[in-house]
Chains A and B, each alone.
Chain A
Amino acid sequence: GENVEQHPSTLSVQEGDSAVIKCTYSDSASNYFPWYKQELGKRPQLIIDIRSNVGEKKDQRIAVTLNKTAKHFSLHITETQPEDSAVYFCAASPDSGGGADGLTFGKGTHLIIQP
C-alpha cells in the first residue's frame, strides 16, 4: 500500500518568514494530494489540494508543489502569521474515484510561529 513520509515533525519559524513542509509518497499511482490543518483542540480542515496533472497550486499565502518524478510534494506558507500555528497533515490517494478509503496521511508537522 501507499506510504507517506512527512518532514519535519516540528518546525519553528519567525513570524513573517516562510515555512515549507515536505512529503514523499511511495505509490506512483497516487494522483490526489490534499493538505489538512488542525489547530489546537480543533478538527482537521482541508486547506489546499493538488492533482497529479498540475505542478503547482496557490491560494493566497499558501501554495503546494508536486514533483511526480521524484514522488514528493510540499506545502509552502509565506509571510507566516500567528494563526498559522497548527499541525499540518499531508496525504496521498492512488485513485480519487475510489473514495477516501485510499487516502494515506503523513504523521503530521507541528508548525510553531514565533512572535
Chain B
Amino acid sequence: DVKVTQSSRYLVKRTGEKVFLECVQDMDHENMFWYRQDPGLGLRLIYFSYDVKMKEKGDIPEGYSVSREKKERFSLILESASTNQTSMYLCAWGGTATNEKLFFGSGTQLSVL
C-alpha cells in the first residue's frame, strides 16, 4: 500500500523560529502537495511539486517555502514561524492525470507560541 510519512505528529515552536516539516513517500512518484487544514476552512493548498527541484505556489503560499531535492522527500519550511501558522499540516501524494486520487499523510499539528 502507498505510504506517505510525515516526520512529526505534534510540534511546538516559538514565534520567529525556522520550522521544517518533512514528508516522505515510498513510491517513485512525482506529484507531492502540502495542505493546511483549519476548522471551518477545509483543506487549502500551500505548495506543490511535480518533479525534483520543481515547486509551484498553491493558494496560500505566503510565509512558506518548500524544498524538493529528492523525489521521495518534500519539505515545507516556515522561515519565521508566526502564531497564525498554528495549524494541521497535511502532506499528500498522487493526483495525476491518470489517477486523481490523493493519498494523505497522517498530518503534523503545529503549535506556534
- Residues of A participating in the B interface, judged by any CB pair closer than 8 Å: 1, 6, 9, 32, 34, 36, 42-46, 49, 89, 93, 96-101, 103-108
Q: For chain B, give the interface size range.
A: 20 to 34
Say whether, besides A105-B42, A105-B43, A100 and B92 are in contact (CB < 8 Å).
Answer: yes
Q: Tell me the bound Cα distance from A97 to B97 in angstroms.
A: 4
B31 touches A108 (CB 8 A): no
Q: Tell me the bound Cα distance from A101 to B43 in angstroms.
A: 12
Q: CB-CB < 8 A to B94: which residues of A?
A: 100
A98 touches B105 (CB 8 A): no
A106 touches B107 (CB 8 A): no
Chain A proximity of B73: nearest CB distance (Å)? 19
Residue of B44, B48, B107 touching A101 (CB-CB under 8 A): B48
Q: CB-CB < 8 A to A43: which residues of B?
A: 90, 104-107
Q: CB-CB < 8 A to B101: which residues of A?
A: 34, 46, 49
Chain B proximity of A16: nearest CB distance (Å)? 28
Residue with the highest number of chain B CB atoms closer than 10 Å, among A42, A89, A100: A100
8 A-B pairs (CB sep. < 8 Å): A1-B59, A9-B40, A34-B101, A43-B104, A43-B105, A99-B48, A100-B96, A103-B45
Residue of A1, A49, A99, A107 touching B42 (CB-CB under 8 A): A107
Chain B contacts with A in 11-54, Cβ cutoff 8 A: 31, 33, 40-45, 48, 50
Q: CB-CB < 8 A to B104: which residues of A?
A: 43-45
B31 touches A99 (CB 8 A): yes
**Chain A residue with Cβ nearest B47:** A101
